[in-house]
Amino acid sequence: THFGYQTVKKEEKAGKVAEVFHSVAAKYDLMNDLMSMGIHRLWKRFTITLSGVRRGQQVLDIAGGTGDLARVFAREVGATGRVVLADINDSMLKVGRDKLIDGGYTLVEYVQANAECLPFPDNTFDIITIAFGLRNVTDKDAALRSMYRVLKPNGRLLILEFSKPIFDPLAKVYDAYSFSVLPAMGQLVTQDADSYRYLAESIRMHPDQQTLKQMMENAGFYQCDYHNLTGGIVALHRGYK
């Protein structure tokens, strides 16, 4: 594979991920719409609904990128609430910050941080979300433990991520789409097929629904469940502290 992804050393992964997101940041939103045919908007809307967000709450969106979730959270929590958009990658963070400020969302806070070691005190947030971010994190168990630590008791974590299609025929079509259409589209729009090859590979490597649920439980979350979206191409996991 392009990055020798199957054999790449753990410590090299972070460098590859950084490379990918520096490269795609400027065209990230356009590519998201093209690749998912706009459906990522519905997946994100469902995430907001299941978050149960209310006025005055404190929300952390990890791997927040260009701010799709943070923007809606900012509207929902109002001036008495707090929304923090955290991302490890300063290119993505800058695109997100510019977009939100241009849209009039001036109260969102931006923090450059690694999900594995979140720089917040214990028991800070009512809601934590991570959308299409966890599969890029090198040590997912450490990230889940870190999220658990900064979540308030009774707070909830929502993980929106690519998962395993639940029907075999869909899995085959989807695999073909990921490994041929996505890189071609990436090449056309961003002149960067490799980053989109990485994307397809990272989706294939990501833990399936049950495994991720178990990982959440191992990190201490309770009442963990998940919803398959679009036939399991994506799943939304939820758990409480």
Binding residues for S-adenosyl-L-methionine: 66, 87, 114-115
Among the listed ranges 62-70, 173-181, 189-197, 219-227, the one in contact with ligand SAM (CB under 6 A) is 62-70
Strands 222-229 and 151-162: unpaired
Identified binder of ligand SAM from the candidate list 23, 51, 58, 136, rule CB under 6 A: 136
Its sign, for the CA torsion 77, 104, 147, 47, is positive
> Which H/E stretch holds residue 182?
helix 182-190
3-state class (DSSP) for residue 83: strand
Q: How far is the CB of 165 from ligand SAM (least distance, A)?
A: 19
Identified binder of ligand SAM from the candidate list 31, 84, 100, 115, rule CB under 6 A: 115
**Binding status of residue 186 toward ligand SAM by CB under 6 A:** no
Q: 3-state secondary structure string, 196-236?
A: HHHHHHHHHHCCCHHHHHHHHHHCCCEEEEEEEEHHHCEEE
Strands 222-229 and 234-240: antiparallel
What is the full DSSP assignment across 134-175? GGG-S-HHHHHHHHHHHEEEEEEEEEEEE---SSHHHHHHHH
Among the listed ranges 58-66, 73-81, 211-219, 221-229, the one in contact with ligand SAM (CB under 6 A) is 58-66
Q: How far is the CB of 184 from ligand SAM (least distance, A)?
A: 19
The answer to whether the beta carbons of residues 67 and 100 sit under 8 Å apart is yes
Among the listed ranges 102-110, 112-120, 162-170, 201-209, the one in contact with ligand SAM (CB under 6 A) is 112-120
Q: Based on CB atoms, which residue is closest to ligand SAM, 68 or 126? A: 68
The answer to whether the beta carbons of residues 236 and 158 sit under 8 Å apart is yes
Among the listed ranges 65-73, 208-216, 220-228, 233-241, the one in contact with ligand SAM (CB under 6 A) is 65-73
Q: How far is the CB of 168 from ligand SAM (least distance, A)?
A: 26
Binding site for ligand SAM (CB under 6 A): 17, 21, 32, 62-66, 68, 87-89, 92, 114-116, 131-133, 136-137
